[in-house]
Chain A
Amino acid sequence: DADVTQTPRNRITKTGKRIMLECSQTKGHDRMYWYRQDPGLGLRLIYYSFDVKDINKGEISDGYSVSRQAQAKFSLSLESAIPNQTALYFCATSDSGGPTGELFFGEGSRLTVL
């Protein structure tokens, strides 16, 4: 089983619908992140959480919200999806006490908003 699991892996929805992308991890890491990737644009940070009680906006948080339900779970919500939120979304974790601060990524959630 993957250490960082994202669900769903693929989702097609319509404009205006509420969508939740879920991320769970078994690595015991305290830090979790949501990134968005569009073709040719690299990864852009949406939200990040350094622990359960800490939530921070990234560079492109507008139109998104998150919930850190437990150390192992970090969900990303689109309250009212729009077509330009069509993208590949990645969840990642890192260990603040680790030797390198290395990020571990999930397999991605491909979202299409029609």
Chain B
Amino acid sequence: LAKTTQPISMDSYEGQEVNITCSHNNIATNDYITWYQQFPSQGPRFIIQGYKTKVTNEVASLFIPADRKSSTLSLPRVSLSDTAVYYCLVGEAPGGGSYIPTFGRGTSLIVHP
């Protein structure tokens, strides 16, 4: 399994763009990069997934360089409600195969007024 490394915590202010970087130096050819968001006392929820280059949806953007050894989750103009823990996962998808979703400690983002 590809091991991921993220900052433990980050602070930001309302209206700013937040970029959270995840390192995954031993990512495999078939691996995708998936980010989840978790609010206190709730289960994580899927935010975005990508394989290479850039992916954007209504919540976030995901930037993946050509070597795929890292990825950056970008949250535009954060609000207080974006305060949460963000997890980066690496593994096979779609189809799943033998992929076992493994969460690290994630990055705790606190957005200040």
Bound form: Cα–Cα A100–B105 in Å = 22
Bound form: Cα–Cα A48–B99 in Å = 11
Contact of A33 with B43 in the complex, beta carbons under 8 Å: no
Contact of B101 with A33 in the complex, beta carbons under 8 Å: yes
Contact of A99 with B94 in the complex, beta carbons under 8 Å: yes
State whether A100 and B101 are in contact (beta carbons under 8 Å apart), knowing that A42-B106, A88-B41 are contacts in the complex: no
B34 in complex: contacting residue of A35, A96, A101, CB < 8 Å: A101
Interface residues of A in 63-110 (CB under 8 A from B): 88, 90, 92, 94-103, 105-108, 110
State whether A45 and B102 are in contact (beta carbons under 8 Å apart), knowing that A100-B34, A100-B46, A100-B49 are contacts in the complex: yes
Tell me whether A12 is interfacial, beta carbon within 8 Å: no
Task: Give A33's nearest chain B residue, CB to CB.
Answer: B101
Main secondary structure of the interface of B (DSSP, over half): loop
Interface size on B, as a range, is 20 to 34
Task: Give A88's nearest chain B residue, CB to CB.
Answer: B41
Total number of A-B contacts with CB less than 8 angstroms?
Answer: 73
Tell me whether B63 is interfacial, beta carbon within 8 Å: no
Bound form: Cα–Cα A44–B103 in Å = 7
Minimal beta-carbon separation of A24 from chain B (angstroms) = 15
Contact of A101 with B43 in the complex, beta carbons under 8 Å: no
Contact of B105 with A40 in the complex, beta carbons under 8 Å: yes
Please list the residues of chain B having a beta carbon within 8 angstroms of any beta carbon in chain A. Answer: 32, 34, 36, 41-46, 49, 85, 87, 91-97, 99-106
> Which 8 residue pairs are nearest across A and B when measured between Cβ atoms?
A105-B43, A101-B93, A96-B96, A43-B103, A42-B105, A102-B46, A99-B94, A42-B103
- Besides A92-B101, A102-B34, 6 more A-B contacts (Cβ < 8 Å) are A43-B44, A45-B103, A101-B94, A103-B46, A105-B44, A107-B42
- 9 A-B interface contacts by CB (under 8 A): A41-B105, A43-B87, A44-B103, A45-B102, A59-B102, A92-B101, A94-B96, A103-B36, A108-B42
Please list the residues of chain A having a beta carbon within 8 angstroms of any beta carbon in chain B. Answer: 4, 31, 33, 35, 40-45, 48, 58-59, 88, 90, 92, 94-103, 105-108, 110
